[in-house]
């Protein structure tokens, strides 16, 4: 048609009088430029910060990819295969439909902060000011990162119990500090414990912080009152702060009791408590966590946290508030159901010949593979397990700074349906 230009996807055309001159596609022009540049200049090398040298891809990503490739049952990563309570899911849907989809306040919606304060009072008798002493975070991992980046300086030391959740070492390294490990190992009674002398020896004039995870991943240990009292005494004696990771606080078995360190005499003032709703409400993908404690500690952590995500999960925050207000029967029920799954998993692992101590809490069962895998090499065992048995597990050596202590140990997750575990 005269006077009309045909503009197609392969070229942009400009009409000049009755003629149309094709112009190069911007995408093609950029591709040519990039190709020529790559031919002349080598890609940058050594761009990873030296603080993260040696960390690489997490073991969870590697093992989850292996599960996807082989179709194996993923008993490696700690996520449940059932959704959380319907009231919580419905509250998230209502929030989305109600328009709660933009940035929430950086500190988190007051509705959730009040629910967290109510939770701390209800379960532990801790009084927290929701206005100044609670911050909502993108899961417990961001709370941990904010705390460590906000409190640590280069050259500081952090005392941490190993094995440990793998992000601990990375966050400490990013802060320019040094992790000093204290070993958790099976004692004569079969429970995991530590040597008090090793803990005392780990504290130096450079110690700024003790990082404590209870209930503990991956061992399933619940720290006792005597152990917590020792930690509290050393923290006060040496004037150090304690950051506690308590995300498994409601997943306890066999009448074990979780005692927040902040409830011990003299410890509220120097304890930053971290938790989240992902494990308690089967919503690990929502990444709604929080930290609470005295205003100076919360402010230090919040100062760093604001430059990480600033804010997150707007519609999930009011839903988490609904979850925290559920009756006691919910919290008792989720622990009871998980204990049944734990018992099934432990029984199956024992029947297969593993040495499998019974965990006191959390999603996980740690086993000694040496009775069935003579080399005791947990990494090679886990990499071959999907093809051999159709199951994915995680080698515990990745949770140790001194991997020789965990090379023969492997972690399985019990947070699955009984039918999956029994398969």
Pairing of strands 178-183, 185-186: unpaired
Confidence of residue 16 (pLDDT cuts 50, 70, 90): very low
Checking if the pLDDT of 6 tops 50, the result is no
pLDDT, tens only, 296-345? 999 999 999 999 999 999 999 999 999 999 999 999 999 999 999 999 99
Average pLDDT over the chain reads 92
Spatial separation of the C-alpha atoms in residues 130 and 135, rounded to whole Å: 8
Pairing of strands 288-292, 271-276: antiparallel
Residue 361: strand, helix, or coil: strand
Paired tokens of 105: 């306040």
Greater model confidence, 5 or 207: 207
Q: Per-residue pLDDT averaged across 112-137, rounded? A: 99
Output 68-74 pairs: Cβ under 8 A, ≥24 positions apart: 69/386, 70/386, 70/387, 70/390, 70/392, 71/390, 72/385, 72/386, 72/389, 72/390, 72/391, 72/392, 73/390, 73/391, 73/392, 73/416, 73/420, 73/423, 74/392, 74/413
pLDDT at 2: 46
Give all domains of the chain, ordered by start, each with its CATH number: 1-43 (no CATH), 56-82+329-422 (3.90.1150.10), 86-328 (3.40.640.10)
Give the residue among 374, 303, 308, 271 at the shortest CA–CA distance from 142: 308
Spatial separation of the C-alpha atoms in residues 214 and 91, rounded to whole Å: 29
pLDDT at 17: 45
Spatial separation of the C-alpha atoms in residues 223 and 229, rounded to whole Å: 10
Spatial separation of the C-alpha atoms in residues 342 and 64, rounded to whole Å: 21
| Entry field: residues in the chain | 423
Greater model confidence, 256 or 21: 256
Pairing of strands 157-162, 178-183: parallel
Checking if the pLDDT of 30 tops 80, the result is no
Paired tokens of 237: 């004696």
Pairing of strands 288-292, 241-245: unpaired
- The rounded percent of the chain whose pLDDT value lies above 70 is 89
Confidence of residue 39 (pLDDT cuts 50, 70, 90): low
- Contact call for residues 409 and 417 (beta carbons, < 8 A): no
pLDDT, tens only, 59-104? 888 888 988 899 999 998 888 999 999 999 999 999 999 999 999 9
pLDDT, tens only, 190-249? 899 999 999 999 999 999 999 999 999 999 999 999 999 999 999 999 999 999 999 999
pLDDT, tens only, 260-299? 999 999 999 999 999 999 999 999 999 999 999 999 999 9
């Amino acid at each position: 048609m005269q006077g009309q230009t045909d503009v197609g996807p392969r070229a942009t055309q400009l009409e000049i009088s009755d003629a149309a001159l094709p112009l190069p596609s911007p995408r093609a022009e950029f591709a040519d430029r990039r190709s020529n540049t790559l031919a002349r200049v080598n890609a940058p090398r050594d761009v990873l910060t030296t603080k993260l040298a040696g960390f690489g891809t997490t073991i969870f990503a590697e093992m989850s990819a292996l599960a996807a490739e082989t179709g194996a049952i993923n008993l490696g990563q700690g996520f449940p295969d059932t959704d959380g309570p319907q009231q919580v899911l419905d509250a998230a849907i209502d929030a989305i439909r109600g328009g709660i989809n933009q940035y929430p306040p950086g500190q988190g919606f007051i509705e959730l902060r009040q629910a967290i304060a109510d939770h701390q009072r209800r379960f532990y008798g801790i009084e927290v000011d929701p206005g100044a002493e609670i911050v909502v975070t993108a899961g417990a991992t961001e709370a941990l990162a904010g705390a460590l980046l906000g409190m640590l300086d280069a050259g500081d030391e952090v005392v941490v119990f190993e094995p440990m959740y793998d992000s601990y070492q990375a966050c400490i390294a990013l802060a320019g500090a040094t992790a000093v490990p204290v070993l958790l190992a099976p004692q004569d009674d079969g429970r995991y414990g530590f040597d008090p002398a090793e803990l005392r020896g780990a504290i130096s004039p450079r110690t700024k912080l003790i990082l404590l995870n209870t209930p503990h991943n991956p061992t399933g240990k619940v720290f006792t009152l005597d152990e917590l009292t020792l930690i509290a005494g050393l923290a006060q004696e040496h004037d150090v702060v304690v950051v506690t990771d308590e995300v498994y606080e409601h997943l306890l078995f066999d009448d074990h009791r979780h005692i927040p360190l902040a409830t011990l005499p003299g410890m509220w003032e120097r304890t930053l408590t971290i938790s989240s709703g992902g494990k308690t409400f089967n919503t690990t993908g929502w990444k709604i966590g929080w930290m609470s404690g005295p205003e100076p500690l919360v402010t230090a952590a919040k100062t760093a946290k604001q430059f990480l995500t600033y804010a997150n999960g707007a519609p999930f925050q009011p839903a988490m508030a609904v979850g925290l207000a559920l009756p006691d029967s919910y919290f008792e029920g989720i622990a009871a159901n998980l204990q049944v799954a734990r018992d099934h998993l432990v029984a199956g692992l024992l029947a297969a010949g593993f040495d499998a101590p019974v965990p006191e809490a959390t999603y996980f069962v740690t086993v000694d593979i040496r009775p069935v895998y003579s080399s005791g090499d947990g990494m090679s065992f886990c990499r071959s397990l999907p093809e051999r048995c159709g199951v994915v597990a995680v080698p515990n050596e990745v949770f140790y700074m001194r991997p020789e202590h965990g090379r023969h140990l492997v972690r399985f997750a019990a947070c699955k349906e009984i039918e999956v575990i029994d398969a």
